[in-house]
Amino acid sequence: MELNREKLNLPKYSERIIQFGEGNFLRCFADWQIDILNKEANFNSGVAVVRPINYDTVPLLNTQDGLYTAIIRGINEKGEVVKDYRIISSVNREIPIYKEFDEYLKLAHNPEMRFIISNTTEAGIVYSDKDKYEDRPQNTYPAKLTRLLHERFTVFNGDMSKGFILMPCELIDYNGEELKKIVLKYADLWNLGEEFKKWLVEGNIWCSTLVDRIVTGYPHAEKEELKKELGYEDRFMTTGEYFYLFVIQGPKDILTKELKLDKVNLNILITEDLKPYKMRKVGILNGAHTSLVPVAYLYGIDTVREAMENSDINNFIENAINQEIIPALDMDKKELIEFKEAVIKRFRNPYVKHMLIDIALNSTSKYKTRILPQVLEYNKRTGKLPQRLLFSLAALIRFYKGVRENGDAINLRDDKQFLDMYANLWSNFNGDYKHIAETVLGMKSHWEVDLNTIPEMTDTVTLYLEKIDTLGVKEALKEIK
């Protein structure tokens, strides 16, 4: 069987959404949610996908009539292992902008167009004064978008009601505000006029977003097995975890009504400020990951799931979240605990093989952004030190010795300055663990504070570092009070 709308009796919805990016994440996240809205809330919105970069190695979604299978697998709210296969029909077509620029501009002519979604990677929302209005197309995503928005403004004579709701999904802070700022810079660069700039600001809704779902993409290892199970071949099938969260910063009444969120139960939250949700995700999800990695990897464990199946590591990370991370966050405690429970289920997902060594990339910087804020806030609020978060820091320092407890080498990946520092400390090590701890904690240019000045922090990290290096993680964990 081939994926075909006519054969499967699947409708093609009215084109109301422009999507920059054809990758696995948007197809398993945004387009998956749009498909549910179409089928359960009469959203009636088809997606025109714009391929924003110039390559031909992957065929267009058009070869499968825009259809593909989203395979969602994981642990649900009841703790049950579940999997769901869904043929996504929300994508109408894909436009290769470098070959069909005029077709791309025609999207702006459609009066029904209302939403713009994007995921062009963190490096996508950038500005370059080398982009020109007459380019076909421009190089950067914001420049391509500015050209499309000006086409819209021109075709509809600046009609304020013909603006868009923009929901960028790139992983940068306040992505909607940053995108608007850059588009306005292009409007100035290209001398597009004050009326256009006014329309950009007042006629469009620029939403910042926070997106959360692990998307593992095309299941190469299971290709033949899934082909038999599904009964058809799908070159674009994509896999993702059960959990997902879409937080949108914007006007609640307008977004709820236009997205028809009152008619379906989706984990889409509309808020006036993303910050608490970002702090929750960074602190609990990312912070737990970063805390877990050096401890579990030195213990001899390779994946997140294996770590959660080990009682020592599981107790360590659950207690770290419950007793040290959540008390340092400003949000409803019930919400924080519910999110923590969802995170633990995600870590135990049997369908996601998340390698600890991959998460370990740039761990020195990750500790600063994901864990240190909770360390400092916990200390400020309680006058005590979070023992597990500091144990993780000690394990991280030991991790950068470059060898596991069984003697296997560790593939260290971090900025050269950190790798050089750790290499120098461990190669010249003479038994003085406090010297190593003081040097790492004293990186004021990195931490933005000399951590040695915090009472008892140096001694605590030194103690744990020595225990981990001499006794091993399993025995050292017993030292945590």
pLDDT tens digits for range 391-432? 999 999 999 999 999 999 999 999 999 999 999 999 999 999
What are the pLDDT digits (tens) for 64-84? 999 999 999 999 999 999 999
* Co-location of 210 and 351 in the same domain: no
The tally of domains found in the chain comes to 2
pLDDT at 189: 98
pLDDT at 481: 79
* Co-location of 294 and 254 in the same domain: no
* Co-location of 300 and 443 in the same domain: yes
At 418, is the secondary structure helix, strand, or coil?
Answer: helix
* Co-location of 356 and 375 in the same domain: yes
* Co-location of 44 and 91 in the same domain: yes
- Last residue of some domain: 237, 271, 305? 271
* Co-location of 404 and 390 in the same domain: yes
Cis (ω within 30 of 0) for the bond into 111?
no
- Last residue of some domain: 271, 289, 318? 271
Residue 91 has pLDDT above 80, yes or no: yes
Long-range contacts of 316-319 (CB under 8 A, 24+ apart): 316/292, 316/388, 316/391, 316/477, 316/480, 317/288, 317/291, 317/292, 317/347, 318/344, 319/388
What are the pLDDT digits (tens) for 286-340? 999 999 999 999 999 999 999 999 999 999 999 999 999 999 999 999 999 999 9
* Co-location of 260 and 378 in the same domain: no
pLDDT at 266: 98
Q: Which two tokens stand for residue 71?
A: 């395979």
CA dihedral angle for residue 218, residue 344, residue 172, residue 139, rounded to 10 degrees: 0
* Co-location of 267 and 399 in the same domain: no
pLDDT at 261: 97
Nearest to 376 by CA among 281, 285, 450: 450
Residue 100 has pLDDT above 80, yes or no: yes
* Co-location of 132 and 234 in the same domain: yes
Crossing angle for the helix pair 287-299 and 387-399, to the nearest 10 degrees = 60
Please give the residue range of the domain that contains residue 400: 275-479
pLDDT at 123: 81
pLDDT at 424: 97
* Co-location of 304 and 416 in the same domain: yes
What CATH number is given to the structural domain containing 389? Answer: 1.10.1040.10
What CATH number is given to the structural domain containing 96? Answer: 3.40.50.720
- Last residue of some domain: 228, 250, 271? 271
Cα–Cα distance for residue pair 385/305, rounded to 1 Å: 28
User: Cα–chain-centroid distance for residue 379?
Assistant: 28
Specify the residue for token string 């058009």.
Answer: 62
At 91, is the secondary structure helix, strand, or coil?
Answer: strand
* Co-location of 39 and 173 in the same domain: yes
* Co-location of 316 and 402 in the same domain: yes
Enumerate residues 6+ apart whose C-beta is below 8 A from 411.
357
Helix-then-strand count for the chain, H and E: 23, 13
What are the pLDDT digits (tens) for 228-245? 999 999 999 999 999 999
Cα–Cα distance for residue pair 47/5, rounded to 1 Å: 15
